[in-house]
Amino acid sequence: MTLESWLASAIADAEKRGLPELKTMLEALAKSTAVLRQASRS
């Protein structure tokens, strides 16, 4: 799953569950995941 599609579905699910504050936290997590994926490739 690409990071972009993961983030979009996670934000949509959080909003559906009444947790809109998670959006900025999930965006920060996505940046961290990008570093993790880059490190695992190198």
Is 1 a binding residue for other proteins by CB under 8 A? The answer is yes
- What are the residues whose beta carbons fall under 8 Å from the beta carbon of 37, sequence distance 6 or more? 3
Is 23 a binding residue for other proteins by CB under 8 A? The answer is no
Is 4 a binding residue for other proteins by CB under 8 A? The answer is no
Amino acid making up residue 8:
A
Number of residues that bind other proteins (CB under 8 A): 19
Question: What's the start-to-end Cα distance of the chain, in Å?
Answer: 19
Residues that bind other proteins (CB under 8 A): 1, 6, 10, 13-14, 17, 19, 21-22, 25-26, 29, 32-33, 35-37, 39-40
